[in-house]
Amino acid sequence: MTTQNSHMHTPFAATLLERRDLSADTALFRVAPEESALRTLCSFVPGQFVQLSVPGGGEVPISPADLPAADGTLELCVRRAGHVTEVLHQAATGATLGLRGPFGTGFPLEEMAGRPVLLLAGGLGIAPLRSLLMHLLRNRNDFEEVTLMYGARQPKLMLFREELAALAAKGGLRLFLTVDFAPEESAGTFSCAVGLLPDLLKGFRFDAERTYAAVCGPPPLYRCLIGELQKAGVEAERILLSLERRMRCGIGRCCHCAIGQKLCCVDGPVFRASELRQIPEAL
Ligand SMILES: Cc1cc2nc3c(=O)[nH]c(=O)nc-3n(C[C@H](O)[C@H](O)[C@H](O)COP(=O)(O)OP(=O)(O)OC[C@H]3O[C@@H](n4cnc5c(N)ncnc54)[C@H](O)[C@@H]3O)c2cc1C
Ligand code: FES
């Protein structure tokens, strides 16, 4: 077994360098993988995931929120959802974590090159889509118009809001933000619409026949967004959905993540809407 293959099963060590709170239950963790992991992790394609192990907790799939930095460090945006993520949120800087991966399919970047790209993120769905967004913006000339539509329940739950506003202000990104409702308290200096994410698509003028759409968010959102995108003229082959399933092995062995005949960990997590047509339980 090669070193690379053995790390499909055995995690690389990674040191927790810092943590930045993004909302009451979500934080951005910067981790430094051991040096021998760098070559493997540098093959990461936006949309893929890693299996993050937290001592005393367990292992969870997480899609890195950006490509590895030049120094090999990795950003993981993690919501406190249950046991493992709770232990991670309690971990001190300097703690040793584990990483396996990257696993699964990423976004088809070569196919998307030269096309307009529309990213649609709902809630925590911005975490996996952020790595795609950063790739598009760093290679801005390789893509046509880049648009991000991002919806959150309320302003204070909108992750990376200042960063996104700053990226849009630089040019090269069309940004549309929306919240389900806007309570009276202020959540900083950024403006957004009030309404549901699919509402942003209604009346939105874009080159639907050439656009690739990348969607990530809570499950109920998918059907609605696919409907709106198809109504606008985006073919199902160009609607890319990042799906979530509970995972164990992450490498196609345990069938824990089955979606019909497909396995989320190896056939996904990025699927085309056209691939899922025959699998009603997928969405
Ligand atoms: C490919 C992939 C990428 C992911 N990327 C991220 C990410 O970037 N950031 C992030 O915060 N989370 C991400 N997740 C979700 C994350 O893996 C789960 O929140 C985590 O496994 C919860 O583990 P836990 O032990 O803390 O909670 P648990 O105690 O296992 O679960 C807490 C609650 O969440 C539900 N739940 C747990 N996992 C899932 C799941 N996969 N799908 C639906 N419901 C679930 C449980 O049913 C339970 O209600 C991703 C999941 C997948 C499959
Ligand atoms: S998590 Fe084991 S097969 Fe997908």
CA–centroid distance, residue 255 to ligand 2 (Å): 5
Please check whether residue 190 is in contact with residue 209, taking contact to mean a CB–CB distance below 8 angstroms: no
Q: Is the CB of 85 under 6 A from ligand 1?
A: yes
Residues 158, 276 within the same domain: yes
Kindly give the number of the ligand 1 atom that is closest to the alpha carbon of 76.
8
The values of phi and psi at residue 123, to 5°, are 55, -125
The model's pTM is 0.93
- Which tokens go with 57? 């907790």
Same domain, 151 and 244: yes
User: Quick one: 157 and 245 in the same domain?
Assistant: yes
Nearest Cα residue to atom 45 of ligand 1: 246
Boundary-marking domain end, from 103, 124, 143:
103
Q: Which of 103, 120, 138 is the last residue of a domain?
A: 103
Q: Closest by alpha carbon to 135, among 54, 234, 50, 68?
A: 68
Ligand nearest the Cα of residue 50 is 1
Is 271 found in the same domain as 131?
yes
Ligand 2 lined by 265 (C-beta under 6 Å): yes
The ligand with the least distance to the CA atom of 241 is 1
CA distance 214 to 175: 14
Per-residue pLDDT tens digits of the chain, which is 283 residues long: 444 566 688 899 999 999 999 999 999 999 999 998 888 888 999 999 999 999 999 999 999 999 999 999 999 999 999 999 999 999 999 999 999 999 999 999 999 999 999 999 999 999 999 999 999 999 999 999 999 999 999 888 999 999 999 999 999 999 999 998 766 555 555 677 888 888 888 889 999 999 999 999 988 899 899 999 999 999 999 999 999 999 999 999 999 999 999 999 999 999 999 999 888 888 8
Give, in order, the Cα–Cα distances in Å from 152 to each of 28, 50, 181, 194, 197. Answer: 17, 25, 9, 10, 8
Give the CATH number, domain containing residue 223. Answer: 3.40.50.80
Do 246 and 115 reside in the same domain of the chain? yes
Asked if 257 and 143 sit in the same domain, the reply is yes
For residue 75, the domain's CATH number is 2.40.30.10
- The residue out of 52, 78, 103 marking a domain boundary is 103
10 Å Cβ neighbour count for 280?
Answer: 8
Q: Whose CA is nearest to atom 39 of ligand 1?
A: 246
Decide: 78 in ligand 1 pocket, CB within 6 A: yes
- Given the structure tokens 């073919």, which residue do they identify? 235
How far is the CA of 199 from the CAs of 160, 177, 202, 209, in angstroms?
21, 11, 5, 20
User: What is the domain range of residue 252?
Assistant: 109-282
Atom of ligand 2 nearest to the CA of 255: 3
